[in-house]
Amino acid sequence: MQIVDINCSKKYQIRIEKGIIENLGSILNEYSAVSKFCIITDKNVMGIYEEKINHVLLKCNSEIIYYVIEPGEKSKSGEAYLEILEFLAKNEFTRTDMLIAFGGGVVGDLAGFVAASYLRGIDFIQIPTTILAAVDSSVGGKTAINLKAGKNLAGAFHQPVMVICDSEMFNTLTKDVRRDGFAEVIKYGIINDAELFDKLSENVDIEVIIKKSVLAKAKLVEEDEFDTGSRRLLNLGHTFGHAIEIAGEYRYSHGEAVAMGIMIVSKAAVAKGYLAKNDYDKIKNLISSYEFDLEPEFTAEKLYEIMLLDKKREGKSITVVVPFAIGDSRLVKLKLEEAKEYLVEGLKQGAQWM
């Protein structure tokens, strides 16, 4: 088993092991004060794992109830959120009972926000079942639902009490969902872990990849839990990626958009003289090896217009995460015109150095 200890406002463990789910009953028995657990999951995950979960939970001494949502981003809604709160109240959930988010990032964000707000906050466990959830959304305590005005606009910081990650569950992911998670893993390598980046081109055990990714994220979360400083490095590829998602009306998945966002900012970083061409080539090769498209069909102008609406914009400037080397990315505050230049350079075809 790989264990990562998280030390932020709450201390908790991330346990990563192939087949760890078999021990779920006894793990839950560690929480002897809990009389009821509510497992929140989605229909896809429930469809695949229902039998297994029922079986392993025979060993659990507490009562277990389930709440199953529709799969997909549309479930991160105000309506779904309120329905779960009502369900818990109807089932007389108290502050000593516990939620379990069993699924991908959608389940984790929604169940996490329910846990953050039901009775002003109850404990919850994350059992991420996608790679993205394992390396990203289950770590760090950000929970959220979407509003009509945009994604993740209502939420709270609420850390889980434990994260249990069974890498065997990734075997049932579709190819696209699996690949999406790797966009975030590549991101961590470029932000602060050159060794992780190198491991991605070798055939390394998925648990090692997950552990290193979680450590890369944990480091930033521990430094800056509430996202006002270095945690913003996690936005590498996301400022431009987010604009790509909107320009394409969510036709590109998050991972695809982030991969293209990383390419744009890396290419611009070479043009600005920050990133060595050799590192750029390595980034390009790794992203291509995961069969991501390298650039969107949108113009710099179009992406710039969308970027102006970014909630992370600070008046006349915007902070972009720029790779200076693999494993060394930095926050760079750009005037809006400079950010536009980045887009122009980042989307330029046949630059001299290429």
Point out which residues bind ligand NAD (CB under 6 A): 42, 44-45, 48, 71-73, 76, 103-107, 109, 129-130, 132-133, 136-137, 140, 142, 151-152, 169, 172-173, 177, 180
Shortest CB 193 distance to ligand NAD, Å: 18
With respect to ligand NAD, which residue has the nearer C-beta, 83 or 227? Answer: 227
CA proximity to 277, closest of 219, 354, 340, 203: 354
Angle at 201 between CA 197 and CA 188, to 5 degrees: 20
- Closer residue to ligand NAD in complex, CB, 272/312: 312
What's the closest the beta carbon of residue 133 comes to ligand NAD, in angstroms? 4
For residues 124 and 234, give the distance between their C-alpha atoms in angstroms, rounded to a whole number: 24
Structure tokens that stand for 9 in this block:
């406002």
Q: Give phi and psi for 342, each to the nearest 5.
A: -60, -45
Smallest CA-to-CA distance from 74 within 250, 299, 302 is with: 250
Report which residue's Cβ sits closest to ligand NAD.
105
CB of 143 or CB of 329, closer to ligand NAD: 143
Q: What angle do CA 85, 90, 92 make, to 5 degrees?
A: 95
Residue 299, CA distances (Å) to 47, 174, 205, 322, 346 in order = 42, 31, 39, 20, 10
Q: How far is the CB of 61 from ligand NAD (least distance, A)?
A: 26
Residues with Cβ within 8 Å of 136's Cβ and at least 6 positions away in sequence, in order, are 105, 181, 184, 213, 217
Residues in Cβ contact with 329 at an 8 Å cutoff, skipping those fewer than 6 apart: 190, 191, 192, 233, 236, 321, 322, 323
Q: Which is nearer to ligand NAD, 159 or 266 (CB)?
A: 159
Query: Distance between CA 299 and CA 22 in Å, rounded?
Result: 50
Give the alpha-carbon dihedral of 77, 78, 79, 85, to 10 degrees.
110
CB of 23 to ligand NAD, least distance (A): 18
Residue 325: in which H helix or E strand, if any? strand 317-325
Structure tokens at 220: 């930033």
- Nearer to ligand NAD by C-beta: 73 or 205? 73
Helix (H/G/I), strand (E/B), else coil: 263: helix
| Strand-strand pairing, 36-42 and 2-7 | unpaired
DSSP for 152-192, written as a single string: EEEEEE---SEEEE-GGGGGGS-HHHHHHHHHHHHHHHHHH
State in angstroms the smallest separation of the CB of 105 from ligand NAD: 2
**Nearest distance from residue 19's CB to ligand NAD, in Å?**
14
C-beta atoms surrounding 291 within 10 Å: 11
Residue with Cβ nearer ligand NAD (104 or 269): 104
Least Å from the CB of residue 194 to ligand NAD = 23
As measured in angstroms, the least distance from the Cβ of 46 to ligand NAD is 9
